[in-house]
Structures are given as C-alpha cells and as structure tokens.
Amino acid sequence: MNEIAVRIKEINRKDGGAFIPYLMAGDPTPERSMDYIRALAAGGADLIELGVPFSDPVADGPTIQAAGNRALKMTDRLESVFTIIEKVREELEVPLILMSYYNPVLQFGETKFPKKCWETGVDGVILPDLLPEEGGEFIRLAKEASVATPLLATPGTPEKRLTELTKKATGFLYLVSRPGTTGVKSGIGKITTNAIKSVRPRVPEELPVCVGFGLSTPDQVGQVIQAGADGAIVGSAIVGRVGNGDKPEEIERFVSKLKEGTKM
C-alpha cells in the first residue's frame, strides 16, 4: 500500500477522517506562501495539497485562478515551487501533494519531474488533465520514484471507468463532489453524499476515497466523512482568505476548525 494511503487509513482508525487543505504555492509571494504552509500544518492538516501556478487552469474556479495569477507574478513556476517545498520540508513531516497540470510537467521533463519530486520531498502528484489511459508512462515513473498519483472520479463516473481508475490510482481516489470547477458552495447536496455512499463500497478497501471541490465549512467536512469518505479536501475557502490578506495565525485557526469536522 502507498505511504499516503497508509497514513490516511491510520487516521481513519484513530481520528475519523483525514483533512487535506489546499494552497497555491507562491501566493502571494514564495516567502509568505511558506508561512501559510506552516500554518496549515500547525492547524492540524493531515496532508497538504499545493497548487502549481499555471496560465490555463481548466479545473480551477475564479478564486484559485486568481491565486495562480498572483503566484505567477512572483515565481518561475515549478522551479520556485520545488524551492518552496525543499525549504518547508526541512521542518514539516506532513505529506505534501502537488496539484498541477500536465503542460508544466511536460515542460519540466516527464522523466525528470518524478525524480525531482522524490528529491524535494513531494509525496504525491495530481494531474487533473492527464487521462489515465494516456498517462501510463507518467504513472509508472512516479511509482518508481515512490510518488503517489491520485486520480479523479465524479458522481457520474461509469462503473467500468471507476474500476479502471481504482486500478491505476495510488495514494487515494479523488472524488470530485460536483461537476465543474473548484469553488465554495453553500451546502453539500444529496448528489455528493449519495456518490460517496455508492463509490466507497466499489473501491478497494486499501485505496482511500477523499472528497473535494466546494467544501468550505466544518459541517460540510463532517458530512462527507459521515457519508463514508476517508478524507476531505478544502481549497477555495482557504485560498480566498489568503487573497483577502488573512494572517497565517488566522489561517491556522480556520484550518483547526475545519479539521474538527473530520472527527467522529
């Protein structure tokens, strides 16, 4: 079992569900970004997802797109992201997962990228625009470098497709709570909770199912955990606070409240 999967399953046994907050690396500056990453860890994050700034983020809503644009003004993309990770990894033990798109990886070098992840302490990589049937080589290279490759499914993913995803995904299966892009929404609907209840029994027990897109409150986090998810991912609600100028200690307190929602 992959190390990320092992960690999530251990949290499930001890604490209910894993909490995975998201930040855009380099937003608003590389130095300030590191302060916010530390705040996520101090607030109780079980894993941390870091976005790679990209000019065409098709899966991102306006809040995360704005964060990416801010970060692009201050970074040279992947190189700066790896530098940020190297620095925070020296003091943090929380697993770090990169959320990127395939184009930056291709520009960096598909073979070189997983090795760099391993060298800098990246534990997993999510590429929402890389189709599993076309990404076999990347998945293989990542596995050789001990880097997990979570894959995305939706409430409408057909049975056959879901089976293929669970065979290739490592770390966890990322269940998107709704169609469309990232962004805060007012509540968790029956589509999401029914999808969790339907998908979780059809996924091998050793592969965690983590839910993201739209979660923003402790209550919403709790709802997806109670519905059977192994972990909850919150992005836009945190990124929006960074964009509004919240201090790291304010982000830490917010994350601590969100983490409470995972406890059962």
The CATH H-level (homologous superfamily) assignment of domain 3-258 is Aldolase class I (3.20.20.70)
User: Residue 44 above 80 pLDDT?
Assistant: yes
Query: Which residue in the list 27, 31, 56, 60 is annotated as catalytic?
Result: 60
Q: Specify the higher pLDDT residue, 148 or 155.
A: 148
User: Residue 120 above 60 pLDDT?
Assistant: yes
Active site residue 129: no
User: Residue 180 above 50 pLDDT?
Assistant: no
Predicted local distance difference test score (pLDDT) of residue 241: 97
Predicted local distance difference test score (pLDDT) of residue 55: 84
Active site residue 49: yes
Predicted local distance difference test score (pLDDT) of residue 202: 92
User: Residue 167 above 70 pLDDT?
Assistant: yes
Please state, rounded to an integer, the average pLDDT across all residues of the chain: 91
- What integer is the mean pLDDT of 168-188? 72
Predicted local distance difference test score (pLDDT) of residue 104: 93
- What integer is the mean pLDDT of 172-181? 76
What whole-number distance in Å separates Cα of residue 179 and Cα of residue 173?
Answer: 16
| 3-state secondary structure string across 33-102 | HHHHHHHHHHCCCCCEEEECCCCCCCCCCHHHHHHHHHHHCCCCCHHHHHHHHHHHHCCCCCCEEEECCH
Q: Which residues pair with 174 in a beta bridge?
A: 152, 210
- What integer is the mean pLDDT of 195-222? 93
User: Residue 181 above 50 pLDDT?
Assistant: no
Query: Which residue in the list 49, 123, 230, 252 is annotated as catalytic?
Result: 49
Predicted local distance difference test score (pLDDT) of residue 188: 66
